[in-house]
Structure 1
C-alpha cells in the first residue's frame, strides 16, 4: 500500500517561508497566535504543524497566523482567490434537502408509539482506587426517539444498543458538543470512513475510523483543523488499551 505524502497549500508555504524568515519555531507561531485569540481559544504547535505540513488544507486561524507573522491581509485574499475555482469549472448547484410537508407534532411526556427504546447510557467514571484512571461503564438509562421496530428493520439487536453523549469540538460540525449518539455494540468491525465509539484506556471517544496496514488504525475527527489524525499500529492499539465499543448508527443534535 503506497503512503500518500501530504502537499501543503500555497498559504501554508507562505506562512512557513515567513516563519523561517523571522527565525521562529512552530511553537513560537502557536504561542503568538494564542496570545491574539480570545480565551479559551488556543492554537497548539501540533495543529499549526499539521497545516504547515499539508496534513490539513485549511485553518480557521489563518487571519491570526498572518497577523502573528506580520503578513498583510492581502496575502490571504490572494491565496484564497487562487484556490477558488473558475466560474466555468464550478459544478452545478444541486439541492440535497426538501421541506417536510406534514405538520410537525410535538410529543408530550410519552412518545406517540408504545414500543419506545430505552437503553443504557455509557459514561466515564474515575476508579475508586485513587489511581486517577478512568473507566467506561453503564450508568442509568435513556429513552431514544424511535421505536424497537425501527431498530429491528435496521438489523440492530436492541440488547447491543447503548447511548453516549459527545463532548468537545473534535467532531464538529457534524456532532457538536452535547450531541447524543446511539451505538451498536454488535458491529465493531471497522468499515473505512464510518463513525465508531471507542474506549481509549478508559476515555470514551467518538471518531471516524480507517484501517491501516498490518492491523493498524487511523482515528479521524471532523474538525481536522484542531484535531489532526491519530495513527496507531497493532502494538499501539494494545499498549494504548484501545477497544472499539461499536458503530454509531444514530446521532441527535439540538443547535
Structure 2
C-alpha cells in the first residue's frame, strides 16, 4: 500500500500544479505543503481543501482506500434558493420531512462516548424528501445525532450533526457507520476482515486503526448526511 506522502506527491504531479500554486489555492504556506510532500508531516487542518484542490478522493488521499478518482474540473455547487425561517409550528412543505434529532445523545469521534440512543428528547430536524428519496433513505429509518470528539476530523468536526440510515447496517468497506462498541456510541470508517473481524478507522491520523470482532459491535446504521458550522 502506498503512503500518504506518496499519494500526495502523485496527486500533485497529476494536477500539474506547483507546491506554491497548491499552497495559494488552499491558503496555507508553501513550507507547510513541502512538509507534507517530504513526509515530515502526515496531516493538515487543510486536508479537505487539499484533496479538493487536487481533485482526488479524500479517503484515498488520507487512508489509501478506494480510487483516486481524478476527473476534469467542473462546477461543484448548485444554487438551491433562499433560506426560510421556521419553527415547530411551521407547516411542512411538500419536499420536507421531519426526522428525530437525538440532540443530547452524542456519537463519539474520539475514543468512545457512553450513552443510550433510545433517550429521545422530542427534537426533530427537517430534511429534503427528494434528497432522501434520491439516496434511498426511508424517513422512518432516519435519525440525526451529534458527533463528539476529533478522531474523524477534518471531515466530521466536533459538534457536527449527522444523519444515520438505520436500515443500512451491512458493512461496505470504506463507508462510515454509527456503531455501539461495548456500550460506546461511535462514528467510524469500517472495513471487513477475514475471520469475522472488522477494522475500525478514523480520518485523523493521530488515532490508530483498531481491529475487533464483528460480534463486539452493533451497527446502528450508515452515516449518509452531515451538517456542521465552519470556523
Normalised by the shorter chain, which TM-score bucket?
A: 0.5 to 0.7
- For 1:120, the equivalent position in structure 2 comes to 100
User: For the Cα contact (< 8 Å) 1:196–1:246, is it kept in 2?
Assistant: yes
Whether 1:251 and 2:226 are equivalent positions in the alignment is: yes
List structure 1 segments (4+ residues) > 6 angstroms apart after TM superposition. Answer: 6-9
- For 2:85, the equivalent position in structure 1 comes to 108
User: For the Cα contact (< 8 Å) 1:121–1:138, is it kept in 2?
Assistant: no
User: For the Cα contact (< 8 Å) 1:196–1:207, is it kept in 2?
Assistant: yes
- For 2:73, the equivalent position in structure 1 comes to 95
Which runs of no fewer than 5 residues in structure 2 stay unpaired?
6-38, 45-69, 107-113
Q: Deviations over 1:138-167 (max 9, x none)?
A: 412444443334323332221111111111
2:207 to 227, 231, 245: 227
Give 1 or 2 for the bigger CA radius of gyration: 1
Determine the C-alpha separation between the residues in 2 that align with 1:111 and 1:168. 35
User: For the Cα contact (< 8 Å) 2:178–2:222, is it kept in 1?
Assistant: yes
Determine the C-alpha separation between the residues in 1 that align with 2:120 and 2:199. 29
What is the TM-score when the length of structure 1 is the normalising length?
A: 0.53
Q: CA deviation at 1:254?
A: 1.7
Determine the C-alpha separation between the residues in 2 that align with 1:7 and 1:108. 47
Q: 1:93 to 1:163 in 2, by over 3 A?
A: closer
- For 2:155, the equivalent position in structure 1 comes to 174
Q: 1:115 to 1:141 in 2, by over 3 A?
A: farther
Determine the C-alpha separation between the residues in 2 that align with 1:194 and 1:8. 19
What is the TM-score when the length of structure 2 is the normalising length?
A: 0.58
Q: Specify the SS of the correspondent of 1:151.
A: helix
Please report the RMSD computed on the Cα atoms of aligned residues, expressed in angstroms: 3.4
User: For the Cα contact (< 8 Å) 2:100–2:125, is it kept in 1?
Assistant: no
Q: Deviations over 1:174-214 (max 9, x none)?
A: 11111111111111000000011111222211111100111
User: For the Cα contact (< 8 Å) 1:165–1:179, is it kept in 2?
Assistant: yes
- For 2:51, the equivalent position in structure 1 comes to none
Q: CA deviation at 1:242?
A: 1.4
Q: Specify the SS of the correspondent of 1:140.
A: coil
Q: CA deviation at 1:58?
A: 1.9
